[in-house]
Amino acid sequence: MVIPLFFAVTLRVFGSAGAEAALTPPNNASPLNPNNVAAIPYSTNTADANTIVEVMPEDKAWKFRLKARADASDRTAEHIEAGEALLQLNPKPWLDLTAGRVIEKWGTGYAWNPTSFIGPKKNPADPNDRLSAYTGLEMIKTDLFLRGTNISLYALQHAAFAARVYRLVKDTDISLVMRHDRNGTQQGIAVARVFGDALELHAEAARRKVLLGGQYTFKSSLNVVAELYRSGDGATASEMRSVCQLAENGDLREANARYAPLQMARNYAFLRGDLPFGKNDVELITITNLRDRSSIIRATYSRKLSPRINAYLIETEFAGKRASEFALIQIARQTIFGLRVYF
């Protein structure tokens, strides 16, 4: 919704609201949850609403943006928070100044972004953030646009700072990024290039983390994304075995504390296929632990009931041998029925 205001200022209000019902039967075969000792509920009902407000003058000399989110559930207390709240000034064509809570999206990866040092962490099983739940960081940001090079400087909380340099070099997007805080300095590089009208390749690298991937769109509109991800911070084979041993010895509290899905190996493969047809869309995602071959399989069917209303069904299954990463997940499967309205 766009509302013209007095003295050539425009107000935009848009967002979405939705409700979901999730079925999560416990995985009694998991050593981490025998007889559902974790008391995982069989069903959960949730609702949320996101409203984005933008105010901008006709000359675009400044912009105010607020993203407010409300969540409600039959399992937890309701709450409201501001995912973004910022004021941006454009004093010069080559200079932008931004202050407030900002969502920054660094990196070129689809399922993982190892160079996203100040952005929200992606969930590879839901890389598109279907509920628009990302929350930004408080910062003061300076953007400089100098002869084809974009330089972004960030002052963060607790004396931390970050920087990003972006340039298009021979049809290749290249970003150099860094962050310094009390834990030290991180550096990374992200690149992407489009070949023709259908193929895109991308890569990211940071300390102990590397991502390689690409996507291709067929004439049938089928889009396929494939990525390989290596994280030196993932659990080793011996650390994975120790989780299983703790569970077998009855120390379920410590075993569950050490278990973190999608972090129990060093290498993962991601594959996504998405096919829109008419008012329908079908998506299939698989994430595989390359050490033990266990997988997450997530299928989504969605349908546009109207230009502003979307209904969907998401089914997530876990496959793998008994001691493998995804066989340890405390739920047997997840089924989600959802409805979302956009305004």
Domain assignment present for 114: yes
Amino acid at 115: T
pLDDT band with cut points at 50, 70 and 90 for residue 6: low
Predicted local confidence at residue 3, as pLDDT: 62
Predicted local confidence at residue 4, as pLDDT: 58
Report which of residues 116 and 2 the model is more confident about.
116
Domain assignment present for 246: yes
Tell me: pLDDT of 51 over 90: yes
CATH number at residue 264: 2.40.160.10
Domain assignment present for 6: no
Tell me: pLDDT of 199 over 90: yes
Predicted local confidence at residue 5, as pLDDT: 58
Domain assignment present for 60: yes
Mean pLDDT of the chain: 95
Tokens linked to 147: 């002869």
Q: What is the mean pLDDT of residues 325-335?
A: 96
Predicted local confidence at residue 191, as pLDDT: 98
Domain assignment present for 28: yes
Do residues 150 and 168 lie in contact, with contact meaning Cβ atoms separated by under 8 Å?
no
Q: What is the mean pLDDT of residues 154-174?
A: 97
Q: What is the mean pLDDT of residues 324-331?
A: 96
- Which domain range does residue 38 map to? 18-342
Domain assignment present for 2: no
Predicted local confidence at residue 8, as pLDDT: 82
- Total-model pTM: 0.93
Q: What is the mean pLDDT of residues 15-23?
A: 98
Q: Which phi and psi angles does 39 have, rounded to 5°?
A: 55, 45
Predicted local confidence at residue 77, as pLDDT: 87
Domain count, the chain: 1
- HEC readout, 277-319: ECCEEEEEEEEEECCCCCEEEEEEEEEEEECCEEEEEEEEEEE
Predicted local confidence at residue 319, as pLDDT: 96
